[in-house]
Amino acid sequence: MTLAIGTDTVLVWRKSTFSGANDDCVETAPTAMAVAVRDSKDLTVGNFAVPNHSWARLTEALKR
């Protein structure tokens, strides 16, 4: 499944508070339909989007 995030959508990126001092983490930006994800160490590689319902299931599974 591919999600298109419009070019007019302003993404507000958030870095996890659990990330280390060396920035080994991903950043996320929620939108109305998905959560965009990118590598915080190399912003040139782009990003991908995960549907909101899938992101919620993923984060709940990681909490266990």
Its pTM stands at 0.76
List the Cα angle 11/49/7 in 5-degree steps: 45
| CA nearest neighbour of 30 among 54, 53, 52, 8 | 52
pLDDT digits (tens, 9 = 90+) for 3-59: 556 666 788 999 877 766 666 788 999 988 899 999 888 888 888 999 999 999 999
Q: In whole angstroms, what is the distance from residue 48 CA to residue 36 CA?
A: 6
- In DSSP terms, which residues pair with 50 in a beta bridge? 35
